[in-house]
Chain A
Amino acid sequence: MVSDLLRLATIGSVDDGKSTLVGRLLVDTRQLFDDQLDAVVNASERRGIGDLDLAFVTDGLRAEREQGITIDVAYRYAATPTRKFIVADCPGHVQYTRNMATGASTADLALAVVDVTHGLREQTRRHLCIAALLGVRHLVVAVNKMDVVRWSPTAFRSVADEIETLAGDLDFATVVAVPTSALLGDNVVETSDNTTWYHGPTVLAALEEAPASSWASARGARLPIQWVLRQPGGGRTYAGMVAGATLGTGDLVTLLPAGIVTRITELNTLHAGSVASAVPGLSIDVALADETDAGRGDLLAAAPLPRVTRTLEATVCWFADRALGAGSRLRLKHTTRTTPVRIDTVTGVVDVDTLRVTPGDELRANDIGILTLTAADDLVVDDYRENRVTGSFILIDEATNATVAAGMVGYPGFVASPQN
């Protein structure tokens, strides 16, 4: 099924042409207002870059334009007759991996850009690995700068083969590789005359045709409670955003971690008031059949139920400059609950070349690692692969309040464990 809205993030190594490609997509589909295009032309001319540096469409910060590099994610909004898009143009530089993870964490699809003259570099592999860990299941690959290799089909094939193999290892559900020149526009929106040997879609067509990601979970509906609304006459309703699966009036739910079984007697959405059911992503409030002391941080769940636990095995992307080792104390935010945690063991680091865990006892900046931790309070979790909301958490530095890690409950399926 193709859905109305596609959220996509660009990934890949620095300078491979991500921002240029996004600029090309937006300009050639006429998404820019006249004054915005004029401003990009003026800025390009002022820096002596020729008449139009397409990367300036998203590289909007002064430092980005001065250095010709993307520093942080830019979000752009586009609509074609068939689909709406939210494009997160991510930075490629390893130093800004945390920003790439930010952009990819909400994406349905990754648009990987690979410079055909360089092939897959470590950073391309790291980004693909992070996107896969984050649960992105669909991949479009622009094998870019084809103009530089004079549109060589063998050059395209060798990079496309390599990335298709890796995408298979990373369990992507769909992969489409397109030979492009973001600079000249070939196969981005318009089909190229230079690649008569290529019969696949343009990048735009691949994005328009990409299947919608289903974030629906085979496990039950979840409602992390954000806020308690007092109703006139003394009753209460519990507000939050539905996750995992559709929640309905009359559904049997368990209040966790307390373990109290009750029933939803009324379900209200913001727009329609009292309704029969609500899909994931809708903010709702519900009334319960039984008196409970439910509050923020608790979770209502339909069967099959999530786990209640204080210890977790998790996969994390570590963003801080300092290393993370056993014994570290941090705060963890999971759904609407924040609790102190202690790192018990660091098992090792995922080698992005081999997709194996290299045993080790600390994580350095931008490492993807496996660890176990203990929380001060009960956590109500699903595996990340089962539910993107109840399976994800962030780690927060207690002193600076910086967000220092993205965490996913469980062990990634595509990584060989250190034991075997």
Chain B
Amino acid sequence: MDPLTVTTTRPVAPETSHLDLLESHAAFVIREVAAECERPVLLFSGGKDSAVLLHIAVKAFAPGRLPFPVMHVDTGQNFPEVLAFRDATVTRLGARLVVASVPDAIARGRVADPGPLGSRNRLQTTALLDAIAENGFDAAFGGARRDEDKARAKERVLSFRDAFGQWDPRRQRPELWNLYQGRVNAGEHLRAFPLSDWTELDVWRYIEREDVALPSIYFAHERAVVRRDGMWLAVNEFVAPQDHERPQRRQVRYRTVGDATCTGAVESSAVTVAEVVREVATATVSERGATRADDRFSETAMEDRKREGYF
């Protein structure tokens, strides 16, 4: 390099870290999809992965506005802290929020009401696919990571969905280098997973580094819980203790955020991000294994849901 161009007033280049490269790759994917697709949307559950995804998306287009809306698939059975966080985040960013509502889908007769004890997990797929079709979205960003589940470990960064919203793991498009191609025909769409190569620990280290805001339930707090299917389930308006169950107060936190009826808490004393990072680094049970009743139905529960068009 020409030595004359190196002046002392120039800022220095910091060491490039693994998190820098993960963040850069995620931003690259987000920009590619935004450039190649007509109507993308970012799926924002209020969970930590989608909070990180949204954080990177905002950085990728700053100082401009986010060039796509965000969508929440609302089961109607949310933790109130998460809904409050969702609304505060959307307001702060000036983003447009689309809500795909399971209660609406039930009211419109699109799906049957599973009743208070039934799971609304699969119903989310109908609400999601209906909203994608109604809004004409051709790409939906999700915060899913390959380290979460064995079916997700198989999925492309840009994952094709046919006109019925289905994923066919036998016929995935080849995905070479960083050449992500987002072409779809009318009625088809893509799912884009910019955090594919992140681990749970990477996500938490990034939250720590960037000071990403999260719903309070990710940090240890005391609440009334019952032991069900080997998990601590919060007692609230959606979850009533059954006869043999004895509610107790415990110090818990959430490792994932989903429907309040099927997302369990873990016992924890981690109240700061740094403490959570330490806890995650030494965890012996996976995040979904510890907290998701929906993955326990069968060996291939996630694959089966994904084939139908789930996140």
Query: Which A residues lie at the B interface, using CB under 8 A?
Result: 4-5, 33-36, 39, 42-43, 46, 58, 60-63, 65, 71-77, 84, 86, 98-99, 101-102, 105-106, 226-227, 229-232, 239, 241, 248-252, 269-272, 274-279, 281-283, 296, 319, 331, 333-334, 336, 338, 388-389, 392-394, 396, 401-403, 406
Contacts and interface: CB of A to CB of B under 8 A. Distances in A.
Contact of B31 (A43, A226, A250): A226
Contact of A389 (B10, B156, B177, B286): B177
B21 A277 contact: no
A333 B174 contact: no
A61 B175 contact: no
Contact of B6 (A60, A250, A392, A406): A250
B183 A401 contact: yes
A278 B284 contact: no
A271 B20 CA distance: 7
A35 B285 contact: yes
Interface of B: 1-2, 5-7, 10-14, 16, 18-21, 23-25, 27-28, 31-32, 34-36, 56, 59-64, 146-147, 149-151, 153-154, 156, 169-170, 172-179, 181, 183-185, 196-197, 199, 209, 283-286, 289-290, 299-300, 303-304
Given A230-B64, A276-B11, A276-B13, A403 B18 contact: no
A101 B14 contact: no
Given A62-B303, A75-B197, 10 more contacts: A61-B169, A71-B169, A106-B177, A250-B7, A271-B23, A275-B14, A276-B13, A283-B31, A334-B179, A394-B174
B42 to A, nearest CB: 16
Main secondary structure of the interface of A (DSSP, over half): mixed
A239 B31 contact: yes
Nearest to A242: B24
A275 B285 contact: no
Given A33-B284, A77-B147, A275-B14, A239 B176 contact: no
Contacts, number: 193
B173 A276 contact: no
Contacts of B179: 333-334, 392-394
A270 B176 contact: no
Contacts of B32: 226, 336
Nearest to A396: B181
A232 B14 contact: no
Given A74-B150, A106-B177, A401 B185 contact: yes
A108 to B, nearest CB: 13
Given A271-B20, A393-B179, A72 B286 contact: no
A102 B21 contact: no
Contact of A99 (B16, B35, B174, B300): B174
Contact of B176 (A105, A275, A296): A105
B99 to A, nearest CB: 28
A230 B23 CA distance: 21
Interface centre among B18, B24, B146, B286 (most CB of A within 10 A): B24
A138 B176 CA distance: 19
B31 A389 contact: no
B255 to A, nearest CB: 12
A102 B175 contact: yes
Contacts of B31: 226-227, 239, 283
A282 B24 contact: yes
Contacts of A99: 172, 174
Contact of A72 (B169, B196, B289): B169
A62 B290 contact: no
Contacts of A389: 177-178
A102 B176 contact: yes
A394 B25 CA distance: 19
A287 B230 CA distance: 55
Contact of A35 (B7, B173, B290): B290
Contacts of B61: 227, 229
Contacts of A271: 14, 19-20, 23, 209
Contact of B34 (A65, A74, A75, A227): A227
Given A249-B10, A333-B181, A34 B64 contact: no
A183 to B, nearest CB: 21
